Chain A
């Protein structure tokens, strides 16, 4: 029994060390919690390692009123910004088992897919609207509501919002 326990500890230590040494997190696109930017009242229902991707549920993007309602929220609230900046902005976040969204992360690129920092007047608006969305569906597996990653991609053309994906 003692030997088994020692082997288990060694294996576990090995796994932990490998995980820490790796440049990858559990999954591509995972976001670790960051108390400096994350809302303190946002909680996962399950553990970090159980967070799914929206595409795992095979239903596409699930929002109350469908994509029409989601698009309307941005069309009504976003004000075009006078700038020559164009490209894509992705906001990725987690929707928990109660349909609440949190842990928002953002990346941006120009039209050649090169990393680009957009004008704050654009990103602040998009982030604020994204954080205000309240229609995310609760998605379940085996009858159990799960936490999942969702993302939105915004196409920006000279400061104007021209499309929302996925």
Chain B
């Protein structure tokens, strides 16, 4: 799983650099953006944190200061270095010049990197109001933006709103199930003390992507339902999976509902293992 994610990250990073189709600007008659786009291509081969990369983007923005894409790829190094001030300034400009194309990125990064749940909700709802097609997925592909919205509502203490969004999104026939969707739904049910529903969602997660987290939360649900046998089985499986690296992973940040070995060990201690 970790290797796959790193591979996806590398591909996504590379595609961010090679992505703009400059000819699209050329044939639409936007000569300035075409010229700026050609300048952006100069970042190819440079590391996104590097001076050369940043300077190439400054050059592109000097040609066309409304080129949203250049602001976004310029912002990435600031995002990854934790500089929320510069990152937000750059992304605000990207969103200003192309809200329909850039809100998905600002929204998902606010959620993922800064746990800015109110900000993520605001951006997703704004995007939803601007377009009449599917609002799409987060920048890393882990979640549909409606799932991020649901998780953000939970985080700001509105579980009922969160559940409504979850249920609506997961029952949409066009929804592609994400690698952690049912885990988060299960944890939400668990926190709402709907233990049987939690168990059902977590079992669904086991079918989609069986990781330490869903086994840990399944154990918690079983415990609440008084099912000691399944509790023991799941907590042991959680530990086994965790130690084998079969768990939630994000190379940048801790994810919502992620667990650590200490959580499993504490649960085992309580049960006198």
Q: Is the CB of B50 within 8 A of A66?
A: no
Nearest Cβ in chain A — how far from B125, in angstroms?
17
Categorize the interface residue count of chain B.
20 to 34
Q: Given A22-B55, A90-B82, A153-B84, verify A58-B260 contact (CB < 8 Å).
A: no
Alpha-carbon gap, A48 to B84, bound state (A): 24
Q: Is the CB of B251 within 8 A of A88?
A: no
Alpha-carbon gap, A29 to B86, bound state (A): 11
Residues of B within 8 A of A115 (CB): 85
Q: What does the 1/0 interface line of B230-273 toward A look like (CB < 8 Å)?
A: 00000000000000000001111110000011110000000000
Alpha-carbon gap, A28 to B261, bound state (A): 33
Taking the complex as formed, is B170 at the interface, i.e. its CB lies under 8 A from any CB of chain A?
Answer: no
Alpha-carbon gap, A166 to B256, bound state (A): 11
Q: Given A26-B51, A28-B49, A165-B254, verify A53-B262 contact (CB < 8 Å).
A: no
We find that the number of chain A residues with CB closer than 8 angstroms to chain B is: 35
How many pairs of residues, A versus B, come closer than 8 Å at their CB atoms?
94
Taking the complex as formed, is A109 at the interface, i.e. its CB lies under 8 A from any CB of chain B?
Answer: yes
Instruction: Give which listed residue, A26, A60, A151, contacts B50 with CB less than 8 A.
Output: A26
Q: Given A66-B261, A113-B88, verify A28-B83 contact (CB < 8 Å).
A: yes
Main secondary structure of the interface of A (DSSP, over half): mixed
Q: Is the CB of A107 within 8 A of B83?
A: yes
Greatest chain B CB density within 10 A among A24, A55, A151, A155 is at A24
Taking the complex as formed, is B78 at the interface, i.e. its CB lies under 8 A from any CB of chain A?
Answer: yes
Taking the complex as formed, is B115 at the interface, i.e. its CB lies under 8 A from any CB of chain A?
Answer: yes
Q: Is the CB of A67 within 8 A of B115?
A: no
Nearest Cβ in chain B — how far from A118, in angstroms?
13
Q: Is the CB of B82 within 8 A of A166?
A: yes
Greatest chain A CB density within 10 A among B54, B82, B114, B262 is at B82
Alpha-carbon gap, A69 to B6, bound state (A): 25
Taking the complex as formed, is A35 at the interface, i.e. its CB lies under 8 A from any CB of chain B?
Answer: no
Residues of B within 8 A of A22 (CB): 51, 55
Nearest Cβ in chain B — how far from A100, in angstroms?
20
Taking the complex as formed, is A19 at the interface, i.e. its CB lies under 8 A from any CB of chain B?
Answer: yes
Instruction: Give which listed residue, A53, A107, A114, A155, contacts B80 with CB less than 8 A.
Output: A53
Nearest Cβ in chain A — how far from B212, in angstroms?
13
Q: What does the 1/0 interface line of A16-58 toward B look like (CB < 8 Å)?
A: 0001001011111100000000000000000000000101001
- Given A26-B51, A109-B85, 8 more A-B residue pairs with CB atoms under 8 Å apart are A28-B78, A28-B83, A29-B82, A53-B80, A60-B251, A68-B262, A165-B113, A166-B252
**Residues in chain B within 8 A of chain A (CB atoms):** 2, 6, 47, 49-51, 54-55, 77-78, 80-85, 87-89, 113-116, 249-254, 260-263
| Cβ contacts A to B, 8 pairs, < 8 Å | A27-B50, A58-B251, A60-B250, A65-B262, A66-B262, A67-B260, A151-B81, A166-B113
